C-alpha cells in the first residue's frame, strides 16, 4: 500500500480525535458552543475518512480500529462530558451515570460493528450510528434555545426531556434497529455526480444552520429507522398467502 494513500485517511481520523479531545477540554473550560461545534467538525471528518480510504484503495483493519477509537472519543466520551458538565452535574450525586451509560452504549455499538464488519462499504447499520447519536445530543442544546423548540415542546420539563433523550439514544445504539448508511457516490456517471452535489448542498445547509436544523434532521433520521424497523418486522410476521 502506498504510504501517502495510507496516511491521508489517517489524517482525517486524527483530526476527528483532536476535535473530540478538544471538545472535552472546551467543555471543562465551560465553552459550550465551541465544545458542541467541535463534535460537528468531528462528524464531517469521520464521514470523509472512510470515503478517502475507499477511493484511495487504502482500507485496512488498522484504519477500522483507529476509526472506532476516534468515534468513542469524539462521539461517546466528549458528548458525555458535555452533557454532564453543563446539564447533569447539579442534578444529583449519581447523575453522572446517565452520561456514562451513553458512553458505554457507544463503546458497545462500536465493538459490535468491528466484529460484524467485513471491510465492504455498508448500506445499513445495525443500531444507531454513534456520530448520529452524538449529533442529535449536542444539536439539541442550541435547538432547545430556539423559538421553534418552545413552540413544539412548550410544556415539557427540560431536564427530564434531556435525560430521556440520552437514555433513548443510548438504547438505540445497542439495539437491532437498522439505519441507512450515508450514501456512496459513483463519480463516473452524471447521476452520481449530481447526487454528490445535492448531498453536499444539503450538508452545507445543515452545517450553516446547524443550531436550528441539525436536531430536527437527526430526529427525522432516527424516527425513520425506528418506524421502518417496526413496519418491516410487522410485515415479516404476516402469514404467507402462498404457504
Domain ranges within the chain, ordered by starting residue: 3-236
Architecture of domain 3-236 in this structure: Up-down Bundle (1.20)
Q: Which one has a higher pLDDT value, 134 or 148? A: 134
DSSP state of 239: P
DSSP state of 241: T
Region 204-212: what's the mean pLDDT? Answer: 78
Q: What's residue 1's pLDDT?
A: 47
| Residues contacting residue 186 through CB under 8 Å, at least 6 positions apart | 192
Distance, CA of 103 to CA of 115 (rounded, Å): 19
Q: Of the candidates 226, 201, 69, 213, which has an alpha carbon nearest to the alpha carbon of residue 135?
A: 213
Does the structure show a pLDDT above 90 at 35? yes
Does the structure show a pLDDT above 70 at 188? no
Does the structure show a pLDDT above 80 at 190? no
Distance, CA of 191 to CA of 174 (rounded, Å): 35
Does the structure show a pLDDT above 50 at 88? yes
Place of cell 462500536: 110
pLDDT tens figures, 98-134: 999 999 999 999 999 888 876 555 678 899 999 999 9
Amino acid at each position: 500500500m502506498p504510504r501517502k494513500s495510507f496516511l491521508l485517511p489517517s489524517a482525517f481520523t486524527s483530526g476527528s480525535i483532536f476535535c473530540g479531545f478538544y471538545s472535552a477540554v472546551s467543555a471543562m473550560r465551560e465553552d459550550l458552543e465551541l465544545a458542541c461545534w467541535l463534535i460537528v467538525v468531528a462528524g464531517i471528518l469521520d464521514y470523509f475518512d472512510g470515503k478517502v480510504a475507499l477511493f484511495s484503495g487504502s482500507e485496512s483493519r488498522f484504519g477500522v480500529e483507529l476509526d472506532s477509537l476516534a468515534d468513542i472519543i469524539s462521539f461517546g466520551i466528549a458528548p458525555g462530558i458535555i452533557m454532564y458538565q453543563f446539564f447533569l452535574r447539579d442534578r444529583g450525586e449519581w447523575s453522572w451515570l446517565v452520561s456514562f451509560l451513553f458512553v458505554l452504549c457507544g463503546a458497545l455499538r462500536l465493538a459490535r460493528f468491528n466484529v460484524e464488519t467485513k471491510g465492504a462499504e455498508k448500506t445499513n447499520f445495525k443500531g444507531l450510528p454513534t456520530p448520529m447519536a452524538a449529533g442529535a445530543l449536542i444539536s439539541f442544546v442550541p435547538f432547545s434555545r430556539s423559538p421553534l423548540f418552545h413552540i413544539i415542546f412548550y410544556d415539557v420539563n427540560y431536564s427530564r426531556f434531556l435525560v430521556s433523550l440520552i437514555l433513548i439514544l443510548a438504547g438505540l445504539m445497542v439495539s437491532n434497529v437498522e439505519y441507512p448508511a450515508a450514501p456512496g457516490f459513483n463519480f463516473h456517471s452524471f447521476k452520481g455526480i449530481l447526487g454528490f452535489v445535492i448531498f453536499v448542498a444539503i450538508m452545507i445547509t445543515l452545517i450553516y444552520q446547524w443550531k436550528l436544523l441539525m436536531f430536527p434532521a437527526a430526529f427525522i433520521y432516527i424516527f425513520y429507522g425506528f418506524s421502518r424497523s417496526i413496519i418491516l418486522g410487522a410485515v415479516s410476521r404476516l402469514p404467507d398467502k402462498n404457504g
